[in-house]
Amino acid sequence: MDALMELLKVFVTGGLICVIGQILLDTTNLTAPRILVIYVVAGGLLTALGWYQPIVDFGGSGATVPLTGFGYTLVKGALEGLKKEGILGVITGGLKSSAAGISVALVFGYIIALIFNPKAKD
Amino acid sequence: MKFQKYANSFKDRPKYVSNCIKAFVAGGIICLIGHFIKDGFLSIGMNQETAGTWATVVLVCTAQLLTGFGVYDILGKLGGAGCSVPITGFANSVVAPAMEYKREGPVLGVGSKIFSLAGPVILLGLATSWAVGLIKWVLQIIF
Amino acid sequence: MGVKEGKGPQARWFDKILQDDYYGEKTFEKAESKLLKNSITMAIEKAGLKKQTIDVMLTGDLLNQLMSSSYMARDVSIPYLGLYGACSTMTESILLASVLVDGGFCTHTVAGASSHFATAERQFRMPLEHGNQRPPQAQWTATAAGAVTISQSLGRTDKPLCCITHGTVGRVVDPGITDTNFMGAAMAPAAFDTIRAHLTDTGRKSSDYDLILTGDLGRVGKKILLDLALKKSSQDEKDESVFRHFRKVYEDCGAIMYEDCQDTHAGGSGCGCSASIFAGRIVKEMRAGKYKRVLLVSTGALISTISKQQGETVPGIAHAVTVEVM
């Protein structure tokens, strides 16, 4: 029962975060890339205020998989860096904590882009 | 502005409710997949953080492969924000512009276009983390 | 015509439908260029002319620096004037070509225009493989090219020929739309302005025409234009008589290009939209006797990727030509 409850929490948290994005898409002139940026920045700021950690504790992957989670990782990294190495940690911490995601997205993405061709839509 | 309002009265409204339901389901499913992947890595003895990172890696690679096969844009049309807001949507927006600029060369074509949508996301996210870190640092000094 | 257009309701009118939007080329830009080249060669052949006898060709497309047109012109080596009127290019080229012919400067000219979904989309909007949703008012850039020959005289032919008898150059009208997906609304006032100017100048009424055909207002823009005409008629007695029966003779190429189920949202757009429907369908129907007098009003939204990012509004333009069967 607990496991099922956990899945439900992940589903609902992730779903709700996406619904906010959908409402932004449908009611404003914002395009998807702008919404991604808004999400990362919002995730970062919420983390700084200490409001995102409870969402992560509740929703698990439901809160870390959406891009707000990317902002969360970046800011968390910078804050941890600050604790360990002071101001240098702020400079390196963000990229350090998100290094895997960014590296893979760019390098694997590069490989994919070199292999595949875009298809015309019909 | 007056004309904009007048013109808006002629266009079809987006299907708010069904779009939101689709986004909810799509986003929820993607997060669940992330959760299962993470669980899988946890069960082979990884710690929370490593498993989470690996889950991200797998999600990103899968989304990029789907983009390559020309499937992700169909999912995106169905799921809307449910497919573009998760990390998979970010992965999609890295590959999609890069793929189109293949004929413009591997350096200035693919190499630079790969950042055209993803660049702002990474940059502004990083800038936010700096800002937060710096503010915290200043606050620590003052208090 | 592209693959998607070939599945639409107008397919039977088109002379060639592609099996693949790459058209055997490596890039979509080259495919568009080849599409335009083929349509121009076909137009010349159908008129029974030779490439060498064409004095000038006037063509345009949507891409930066008219890439498709210029490279097409490199390949066919006919004297070439490149035109940019956004999606209004087809009437712009017909209008100028007829002026050149009428003024006695040229004997044979070709006017054409092309657009390609994939090239326009990547220049103006999102990458093809990007997973996003298009809003309901968005239109689908048609993968299409159309061309006509305009000559002083072709001698005797077994079927009647079409003549360009009037042309009205439109003003740029900017209704202040900032949503670049909402081009129908951005262009409708320009189309209205040009049609009204044309009818007032010539002293005609809309009922004097068998068909008034706008380029690519789409389903939403069509509704707006009809409403603008209706509103104006109710305010002004003179406009009332000018626009009487407007609804009966009015149609839009973008609105009829695709079936509803083809998921194009508000319909087709692009230079190729009015070019292909005019050259492919209307000219044939006119020569077969269905229409005697047609007003073609290609409409264009004068946006660029830069103006869009700088937050500028979308200005619209429309040019009109009268085509009559002689």
* Same domain, yes or no: C109 and C171: no
Q: Which of B4, B89, B117 is opposite residue C177, by nearest beta carbon?
A: B4
Query: Which among C123, C151, C179 is the end of a domain?
Result: C151
Which ipTM did the prediction report? 0.92
| Residues from chain C contacting residue A26 (CB–CB below 8 Å) | 135
Contact C26 B73 (CB under 8 A): no
Judge whether residue C272 has pLDDT over 70.
Answer: yes
* Same domain, yes or no: C172 and C305: yes
- The 8-class DSSP code of residue C198 comes to H
* Same domain, yes or no: C53 and C147: yes
- Which amino acid, residue A91? I
Count, residues in chain C: 326
* Same domain, yes or no: C101 and C233: no
In a domain, C230, yes or no: yes
C177 min Cα distance to partner chain A (Å): 12
Domain ranges of chain B: 14-142
* Same domain, yes or no: C253 and C307: yes
Q: Which of A32, A118, A122 is opposite residue C3, by nearest beta carbon?
A: A122
Q: For the residues B134-138, what does the mean pLDDT come to?
A: 94
Output the domain CATH number for residue C180. 3.40.47.40
Judge whether residue C194 has pLDDT over 90.
Answer: yes
Domain that residue C301 falls in? 162-325
* Same domain, yes or no: C179 and C145: no
* Same domain, yes or no: C147 and C175: no
Q: Which of C3, C7, C133 is opposite residue A120, by nearest beta carbon?
A: C3
Q: For the residues C73-78, what does the mean pLDDT come to?
A: 93
A99 min Cα distance to partner chain C (Å): 23
In a domain, C256, yes or no: yes
* Same domain, yes or no: C132 and C175: no
> Tens digit of pLDDT for each residue in A49-106?
999 999 999 999 999 999 999 999 999 999 999 999 999 999 999 999 999 999 999 9
* Same domain, yes or no: C9 and C82: yes
> Tens digit of pLDDT for each residue in C1-46?
888 898 899 998 999 999 888 998 989 999 999 999 999 999 999 9
> Tens digit of pLDDT for each residue in C213-255?
999 999 999 999 999 998 888 888 888 888 888 999 999 999 9
Confidence of residue A122 (pLDDT cuts 50, 70, 90): low
Burial C8-32 (b: 16+ CB within 10 A, else e): bebeebbeeebeebbbeeebbbbbb
| Residues from chain A contacting residue C7 (CB–CB below 8 Å) | 122
Contact C182 B73 (CB under 8 A): no
> Tens digit of pLDDT for each residue in A2-54?
889 999 999 999 999 999 999 999 888 888 889 999 999 999 999 999 999 99
Return the biggest CA–CA distance within chain C: 57
CA C116 to chain CA centroid, nearest Å: 13
In a domain, C157, yes or no: no
Q: What is the mean pLDDT of chain B?
A: 92
* Same domain, yes or no: C264 and C128: no
Q: How far apart are the C-alpha atoms of B97 and C125, rounded to whole Å?
A: 11
CB C39, CB C145: distance < 8 Å = yes
Judge whether residue B143 has pLDDT over 90.
Answer: no
Interface of C with A in 22-81 (CB under 8 A): 22, 28
Q: What SS3 state is found at C168?
A: strand
Q: How far apart are the C-alpha atoms of B116 and A34, rounded to whole Å?
A: 12
Contact B69 A113 (CB under 8 A): no
Percent of chain B topping pLDDT 70: 99
Q: For the residues C279-300, what does the mean pLDDT come to?
A: 93
In a domain, C264, yes or no: yes
Q: What is the pLDDT of residue C154?
A: 65
In a domain, C156, yes or no: no
Q: Which of A22, A77, A113 is opposite residue B114, by nearest beta carbon?
A: A113
Does residue C203 come out as left (phi exceeding 0), alpha (psi in the -120 to 50 range) or beta?
Answer: left
Partner B contacted by A82 (CB < 8 A): yes
Q: What is the pLDDT of residue C41?
A: 94
φ, ψ (nearest 5 deg) of residue C146: -145, 150
Query: Which among C99, C120, C151 is the end of a domain?
Result: C151
Question: Closest chain A residue to B64 measured between Cα atoms?
Answer: A109
Percent of chain C topping pLDDT 90: 69
Angle A100-A104-A110 (CA atoms, 0-180°, nearest 5)?
155
Contact C127 A121 (CB under 8 A): no
> Tens digit of pLDDT for each residue in B40-76?
999 999 999 899 999 999 999 999 999 999 999 999 9
* Same domain, yes or no: C11 and C141: yes
* Same domain, yes or no: C122 and C40: yes
C136 to A38, C194, C218, C245: CA distances (angstroms): 24, 27, 11, 29
Q: Which residues pair with C113 in a beta bridge?
A: C60, C146
Nearest to A35 by CA among A12, A18, A47: A18
In a domain, C246, yes or no: yes
> Tens digit of pLDDT for each residue in C254-264?
999 998 888 88
Partner C contacted by A122 (CB < 8 A): yes
Q: What is the pLDDT of residue B1?
A: 63
Judge whether residue A1 has pLDDT over 80.
Answer: no
Query: Which among C151, C186, C205 is the end of a domain?
Result: C151
Question: Closest chain A residue to B38 measured between Cα atoms?
Answer: A61
Domain count across chain C: 2
> Tens digit of pLDDT for each residue in C142-168?
999 999 999 987 666 777 889 999 999
In a domain, C241, yes or no: yes
Half-sphere exposure of A56 (CA within 13 A, CB side): 22
Interface of B with A in 67-106 (CB under 8 A): 67-70, 73, 79-82, 84-91, 93-96, 98-100, 102, 106
> Tens digit of pLDDT for each residue in C110-127?
999 999 999 998 888 888
Mutation site for B-interface testing, chosen from C133, C174, C187, C262 by largest number of B Cβ within 10 Å? C133
- Which amino acid, residue C35? L
